[in-house]
Amino acid sequence: MLYRGIKMIFILCCLGSMVACSIGEAKTPEEWFEFTWSGLAGRDALSFQGNASLVRQDKPLMEENISYYGQLKNHHELEMVTILPRLNEVGTWKTAGNKQTNDEIQSKLLWKGGAWTISANQGEVLSKGMTRLNPLDQLETIRKMNKKITTESGAARGTKVLRIELDPSEAKEMIKEKLTAEMQVLRNDYENKIAKMEPELRNKVEPEINNLWTSGNEQLAKILKQTDAKVIYHLTIGRRNGLPQRLTSESELIYLSPAGLQQREVLLTDNRFSSYQ
């Protein structure tokens, strides 16, 4: 009798495990994303490391390669460091001996009002497009926007990989807003510098720089009007805890140059998360 009772308990436990597994496997791709978002929202601290590269016109070599890392603490305070290659006046990479020299830009961001806001080095951070590298902001963008989510086969054991493609029209609008904001930051930055000049020099320089900025801004608006955008993310998450392990993105822009030639640019990012608390 006791043996039969133990056997029945064992069978029920096995059935319970099978049911739990089947429920987990039955999650839709959208439910998997909500699962990982909930897991992330419940953490007060984490770290990430990433790199970004820009490819133009299907060239095999990447024109730019930027690395960065960040640490989230107290749930809403993020410190990021971006390492940028240093350029010579002629636009080539600066080297010391045989080693490329770099510049480090530190930024502090706060999660406030449902968005990440910059609390230090705002002009430099925005003008160099660093906010687009923040993987936590990328995940927030994914959550808010219309998207198509599917699961990828061949994921490593214990993980799930989601392929997430943003709605093309919304992706285009998102990129447009970010680039327009960066142009405005450039204007604010040079206006602040001009304001500190002697009146005679300011009167000479200000009209020229205003004309340059206006021309560049109009050209950007014209290009963006004819731009097609495609943004795809791959999110690797842990099956048990739902926490992100890796997030990659591929943001492709196809547009016409001022000369009427079709151009293609792809921004690639790769982020890895660790040290969850």
Domain residue ranges of the chain, discontinuous segments joined by +: 41-50+122-274
Average of pLDDT values for 2-19?
42
Q: Give the per-residue pLDDT at 120.
A: 63
pTM of this structure: 0.79
Query: What amino acid is encoded at 21 in this protein?
Result: C
Average of pLDDT values for 85-103?
51
Q: In terms of Cα–Cα distance, which of 134, 131, 160 is closest to 29?
A: 160
Q: In terms of Cα–Cα distance, which of 142, 169, 165, 166 is closest to 224?
A: 169
pLDDT tens per residue across span 213-245: 898 888 888 888 889 999 999 999 999 899 999
Cα–Cα distance measured from residue 254 to residue 266, given in angstroms and rounded to the nearest whole number: 9
pLDDT at 89 over 70: no
pLDDT tens per residue across span 96-140: 444 445 678 888 888 888 888 777 665 566 555 677 889 999 999
pLDDT tens per residue across span 45-61: 999 999 998 888 766 55
